């Protein structure tokens, strides 16, 4: 991957801020949806869609593209926003989130958006789907040509299906599979370590035969280096445990699990957008 210059980091910061603004606007328009996760993952999605992914928004079914599997489908506002801002469809369409007849359903639906790799919603399913794609590429001799990226939540690691997928991928040494887990420590009922503790998290993945990398989900250079390390690991699949702040960018929302599954009202959205626009102006002036 190209070196991350200071100019590129600044560009990514602005893209992430634009994505966060779009997320707030989408949720306000929809009147429903998830806030904390999409805001927390905006930096990760900006880095992938504007720097890491091998993809072509004008040719979304390009055979040699990297595959993106969103397992935790409820954070789809950030997924849709990253895709729109990178050119897959008009940014104006984001305002149709969760509306009747919209392509932008509350969970990604491949029937409506055929350039998506999967439909998602049932938590815990994505890693198994991504593992199947990675095995298919290995069988076809394509595992050195592209990567399968599976975005996941820490909360969904409560699901047994997640660990079935992890065991399968480890056993088959799927080197082209890279999982990115949003380690934001919250789920809809509270903090993960109160609901169903996942720690020792890294050790669990290692025991299933994975290369484990921990990184900040908000430091572009550190996360980029984590992805490079994963790409350079040839004997096993890799998981990046990305430590994020749920609700990142809006102080009122940050680290509060109650924002996991609710949208802002008009007053809260106005406050959030004001804060994000102030931050965007600051980034531009630096």
Would you state the structure tokens that stand for residue 286, as one six-digit string? 């630096």
The dihedral through the CA atoms of 215, 123, 204, 147 has a sign that is negative
Q: How confident is the model at residue 151 (pLDDT cuts 50, 70, 90)?
A: very high
CA dist 85 and 261 (Å) reads 24
> Which residues of 119-250 form beta strands (DSSP E)?
148-153, 177-183, 186-187, 190-191, 211-216, 238-243
Least confident range of 19-23, 114-118, 166-170: 114-118
Sign of CA dihedral 213, 218, 224, 225: negative
Question: pLDDT value at position 227?
Answer: 98
Q: What is the pLDDT of residue 122?
A: 86
- Tell me 74's DSSP state: G
pLDDT at 115: 87
Indicate if the alpha-carbon torsion angle 42, 45, 49, 52 is positive or negative: positive
Q: Which residue has the tokens 């809006």?
A: 250
The tokens for 77 are 């506002």
- For the segment 8-15, the average pLDDT, to the nearest whole number, is 97
Give Cβ neighbours of residue 214 (< 8 Å, ≥ 6 apart): 202, 226, 240, 241, 243
The structural domains of the chain, ordered by start, are 6-285 (3.40.50.970)
Predicted model pTM: 0.97
Tokens of 269: 């959205």
201 pLDDT above the threshold of 90 = yes
- Name the β-bridge partners of 58: none
Q: Are 179 and 130 in contact (CB under 8 A)?
A: yes
Q: Is 180 helix (H, G, I), strand (E, B) or coil?
A: strand
pLDDT tens for 108-144 read 999 998 889 999 988 999 999 999 999 999 999 998 8
Q: Residue 150: what pLDDT?
A: 98
pLDDT for the residue 19:
98
Where does the pLDDT of residue 178 fall: very low under 50, low under 70, confident under 90, or very high at 90 and above? very high
What percentage of the chain has pLDDT greater than the value 70? 100
Question: Quick check: 31 pLDDT over 90?
Answer: yes
pLDDT digits (tens, 9 = 90+) for 37-90: 999 999 999 999 999 999 999 999 999 999 999 999 999 999 999 999 999 999
Confidence of residue 173 (pLDDT cuts 50, 70, 90): very high
CB atoms within 10 A of CB 195: 15
**Burial (Cβ within 10 Å: 0-12, 13-18, ≥19) of residue 3:** exposed
User: Longest C-alpha distance within the chain, in Å?
Assistant: 54
Give the chain's radius of gyration (CA, Å).
18
Q: What is the pLDDT of residue 121?
A: 82
Beta strand 67-70 pairing with 148-153: parallel
Q: Long-range CB contacts (< 8 A, 24+ apart) of 56-64?
A: 57/83, 57/86, 57/87, 57/88, 58/87, 60/88, 60/115, 61/114, 61/115, 64/145, 64/146
Burial (CB < 10 A; 0-12, 13-18, 19+), residue 231, is: middle
- The predicted-structure confidence for 224-271, as pLDDT tens digits, reads as follows 999 999 999 999 999 999 999 999 999 999 999 999 999 999 999 999
Q: Which residue has the higher pLDDT, 286 or 62?
A: 62
Lowest mean pLDDT among 19-23, 30-34, 43-47, 107-111: 107-111
2 pLDDT higher than 80? no
């Amino acid at each position: 991957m190209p070196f991350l210059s200071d100019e590129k980091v600044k560009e990514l910061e602005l893209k992430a801020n634009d994505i966060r603004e779009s997320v707030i606007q989408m949720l306000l328009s929809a009147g429903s949806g998830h806030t904390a996760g999409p805001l927390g993952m905006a930096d990760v999605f900006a880095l992938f869609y504007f720097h890491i992914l091998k993809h072509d928004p004008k040719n979304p079914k390009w055979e040699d593209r990297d595959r993106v599997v969103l397992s935790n489908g409820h954070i789809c506002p950030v997924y849709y926003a990253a895709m729109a801002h990178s050119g897959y469809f008009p940014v104006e369409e984001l305002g149709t989130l969760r509306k009747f007849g919209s392509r932008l359903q509350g969970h990604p639906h491949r029937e409506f958006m055929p350039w998506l790799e999967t439909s998602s919603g049932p938590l815990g399913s994505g890693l198994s789907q991504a593992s199947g794609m990675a095995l298919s590429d290995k069988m076809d001799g394509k595992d050195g040509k592209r990567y399968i990226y599976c975005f996941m939540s820490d909360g969904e690691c409560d699901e047994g299906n997640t660990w079935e997928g992890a065991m399968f991928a480890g056993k088959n040494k799927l080197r082209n599979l890279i999982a990115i887990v949003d380690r934001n420590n919250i789920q809809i009922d509270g903090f993960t370590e109160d609901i169903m503790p996942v720690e020792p998290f890294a050790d669990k993945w290692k025991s299933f035969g994975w290369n484990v990398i921990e990184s900040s989900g908000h430091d572009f250079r550190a996360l980029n280096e984590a992805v490079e390390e994963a790409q350079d690991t040839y004997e096993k699949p890799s998981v990046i445990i990305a430590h994020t702040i749920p609700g990142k960018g809006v102080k009122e929302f940050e680290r509060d699990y109650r924002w996991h599954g609710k949208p802002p009202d008009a007053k809260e959205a106005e406050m959030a957008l004001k804060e994000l626009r102030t931050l965007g102006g600051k980034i531009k002036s630096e």
